[in-house]
Homo-oligomer: A and B are copies of this chain.
């Protein structure tokens, strides 16, 4: 069974099923089409399926032309999960958010698995890519598969291979980012290596699905903690009247032992603010606290309040309150040069300013209209940044430092600029660093 499946994968006769067509699944699907596989894309969201069928993208950095090219190849997309039986490989790329109590919400993963289970058959490989705590594959996926009477490692194969997508990173693509793969058994790993080796330049095997699960978490914990650290250092440096951005740049000239991370108005995106708490939650089962993760979470999530204090202080200098002030937030995506607004601290800032009575507007070349979000509601469109428009606001808050902004003009025309990204070096005149 294993050899047949590996052979089908190697010879590109295998059908690849990608389940979940978001920021992770869509690029992976396109990559398998590129390589020459017959690919079936699954999603429960009819609007995504419709868009793909019409050759329309819904992710800024993936052009429609690329989708149209793929659609002319061996690509089908569907909401019909019973077609899972046609696929030799099923790669699950669904979100793993936190619930309101900062606990893992595996509902998308388990819902997807439960939808696939009735259609599993011998000769398939199932891969989970969603970031999750160590043990998920073994403790949640394995028993569900076995409940169908299928023997994992002999009839079906189970791997965990964490996604490493980095939207907006132009140096690396799905193909060139090395991929970690852990199998439930040695045979599972062999199949996983064949599956990913076909599409990814470098596949790195690890000894277990648990090791693969922890690898992804460690990557994001490392970032969350390092960003937490520089955020704390920013507050200390600010009080000592030292520019943390100057210090970080200077430290970065050390050719070993130091790597720069940059402070900001808080953590954003679908990974860094969330994933670490998957380990926190699981560690409790072992009676352990993940203290660095919790400290990083606390400091990072307090940063919007720090920024708001700076805005209050900046307006206070010109004898204004936040209430009644016109405030323009620049950049509402969670990081520069992308359109992704998931967990964006800019939105938290907008809400806090609105709650304090400010008239809030925003400008973001990547987000022309404030989108519908589950927990946030703003009936706003991106403001065009003419000199006179910038001058209309009592305060301009640089929240996300897209390269497309004209920073010289902003500073020249704004009454007050509050800069959360170290975009400006000299803090003087109308500029406040936050």
A residues near B (Cβ < 8 Å) are: 134-135, 164, 166, 169, 171-172, 176-178, 180, 202, 204, 206-208, 210-212, 214-216, 218-219, 221-223, 225-226, 228-229, 232-233, 235-237, 239-243, 246-248, 250-251, 253-259, 279, 282-283, 286, 288, 290-292, 295, 299
Tell me the complex Cα distance, A409–B299, Å: 48
Query: Across the interface, do A219 and B180 meet the contact criterion of CB distance under 8 Å?
Result: no
Query: Do B215 and A177 touch across chains, with their CB atoms under 8 A apart?
Result: no
A178 to chain B, nearest CB (A): 4
> Does the CB pair A258–B211 fall under 8 Å?
no
Shortest Cβ gap from A259 to chain B (Å): 5
CB distance from A349 to the nearest CB of B (A): 23
Residues of B within 8 A of A292 (CB): 225, 228-229, 232, 292, 295, 299
- Least CB distance from A33 to B in Å reads 24
Contact B251 A222 (CB under 8 A): yes
Given A218-B233, A243-B207, decide whether A254 and B299 contact each other with a Cβ distance below 8 A: no
Cα distance A215–B244 in the bound complex, in angstroms: 9
Residue of B nearest to A237 (CB): B214
The oligomer's copy count stands at: 2
Given known contacts A241-B210, A257-B166, A233 and B247 CB-to-CB distance under 8 angstroms: no
The answer on a CB contact under 8 Å between B239 and A286 is yes
Chain B: minimal CB distance from A256 (Å):
6
Q: Which of B169, B208, B246 contacts A242 (CB 8 A)?
A: B208
Whether A288 and B235, one on each chain, are in contact in the complex, defined by CB atoms closer than 8 angstroms, is yes
Q: B259 contacts A222, CB within 8 Å?
A: yes
B178 close to A253 (CB less than 8 A)? yes
List B contacts of A211 (CB < 8 A): 242-243, 246-247, 250
Taking a contact as CB atoms under 8 Å apart, the answer to whether B288 and A236 are in contact is yes
Partner of A255, one of B172, B228, B259, B283: B172
Query: Using Cβ atoms and an 8 Å threshold, which residues of chain B touch A171?
Result: 255-256
CB atoms of B288 and A239 under 8 A apart: yes
CB distance from A311 to the nearest CB of B (A): 21
Query: Which residue from chain B places its CB closest to the CB of A296 in the assembled complex?
Result: B292
Q: Which of B233, B236, B240, B246 contacts A135 (CB 8 A)?
A: B240
Let me know if A299 and B291 touch, CB within 8 A.
Answer: yes
